[in-house]
Amino acid sequence: MSLTARGLDAVRGLADPIQLDEVEDIYLPLSRLLRLYFEASAGLRETVGAFLGQEIRPAPFIIAVAGSVAVGKSTTARLLQALIRQWPQQPHTELVTTDNFLYPNAVLEERGLMNRKGFPESYDRRALLRFVQQVRAGAAEVTAPVYSHVAYDIVPGQRQTVQRPDVLILEGINVLQPARAGALALADFFDFSVYVDARTEHIRRWFLSRLHALRDTAFNDPQSPFRELTKVSLGEVDAFGTNVWKTINEVNLVENIQPTRARATLVLHKGADHSVTRVRLRRF
């Protein structure tokens, strides 16, 4: 493994305790498995092309990473990106978060959805699906909006550009949501999907721990709408976080996120200490 402690620090999420030995035990083998899928997809494309008597243009290999708020899916996605870039092929690998496709706060306010932020209806699903379709089709350049976790909103006029990646990692809490009858789902374009799982009580504790970390860092930014939390006691922060968890995040987890777990190719289950204790791979 060539990933260093400094490299791990660069991808580690806030308050995420992941260590190099876990990367070597869990995520490096997962990267190797993904490489097998990646190479097999290229072989299948060549075989089908030979059968049709024509050359089939390469399409990006798309990996989805799903799971609850605070479960560590962002760290998982960034870690996989770092490991995939070290494959012998050195594939051009892009990471996009579905947070970029949340409606702006002004739209959410207008539609009465601010307390449903993160629920399926708070995303511009058409724009997200169109983005993935265009990347999959090999468009020379595709852009996406940019979401700021500091400002807690879409950044006006800013775009993320994706240019014909070999591998696209799409990370978000609702990426495995099924489509309405007769419609396409994002999952129809995925070559592999990972669901990061844990017991609800453990995720709640990690959410509160991350809230403490944010109170000491990002919430001090003048753009943050949560600056008031830096002026109150930890008990008041916990009360705020517990209310948010119970009324928003846990509801979304139980109603929308957990039901998609069975759709994933692979499930990483974490124990109370945030480390992966079980890996479940769906058989063909």
The residue type of 166 is: D
pTM: predicted TM-score of the whole model, two decimal places: 0.95
Note whether residue 65 is domain-resident: yes
* 3-class DSSP state of 230: helix
Q: What is the pLDDT of residue 64?
A: 98
Note whether residue 13 is domain-resident: yes
Give the CA distances from residue 154 to residues 106, 107, 148, in Å, rounded to whole numbers and listed in that order.
10, 11, 6
Mean pLDDT by 10 residues, the chain (284 residues): 90 90 96 96 91 90 97 96 95 97 97 95 96 95 96 96 97 92 90 98 96 93 93 95 96 97 97 96 86
Q: What is the pLDDT of residue 10?
A: 92
Structural contact between residues 186 and 132, judged by C-beta atoms closer than 8 angstroms: yes
Sign of CA pseudo-dihedral 203, 208, 213, 219: positive
Note whether residue 137 is domain-resident: no
Judged by phi (left if over 0) then psi (alpha if -120 to 50, else beta), residue 112 lies in: left
Q: Count structural domains, the chain.
A: 1
DSSP string, 20-76: HHHIIIIIHHHHHHHHHHHHHHHHHHHHHHHHHTSPPPP--EEEEEEE-TTSSHHHH
Distance CA 41, CA 80 (A): 18
Note whether residue 151 is domain-resident: no
Q: What is the pLDDT of residue 106?
A: 97
Residue whose structure tokens are 């948010």: 244
Task: Provide the 10 A C-beta neighbour count for residue 233.
Answer: 8
* 23: Cβ contacts below 8 Å, ≥ 6 apart: 1, 3, 8, 79
* 65: Cβ contacts below 8 Å, ≥ 6 apart: 73, 76, 77, 80, 169, 170, 171, 172, 175, 193, 194, 196
Residue whose structure tokens are 């000491």: 216
Residue-number span of the structural domain to which 212 is assigned: 5-97+166-281
Q: What is the pLDDT of residue 58?
A: 86
Sign of CA pseudo-dihedral 145, 149, 151, 153: positive
* CATH number assigned to the domain comprising residue 237: 3.40.50.300
> Dihedral angle at the C-alpha atoms of 166, 168, 274, 210, nearest 10 degrees?
130
Q: What is the pLDDT of residue 179?
A: 87
Distance CA 207, CA 163 (A): 34
Note whether residue 135 is domain-resident: no
CA 44 centroid distance within chain:
27
What burial letters (b/e) apply to 79-96, b meaning 16+ CB within 10 Å? bbbbbbeebeeebebbbb
Q: What is the pLDDT of residue 1?
A: 82
Distance CA 142, CA 169 (A): 14
Note whether residue 10 is domain-resident: yes
Note whether residue 154 is domain-resident: no
Note whether residue 112 is domain-resident: no
Structural contact between residues 58 and 75, judged by C-beta atoms closer than 8 angstroms: no
Comparing CA positions, the residue from 93, 172, 73 lying closest to residue 129 is 172
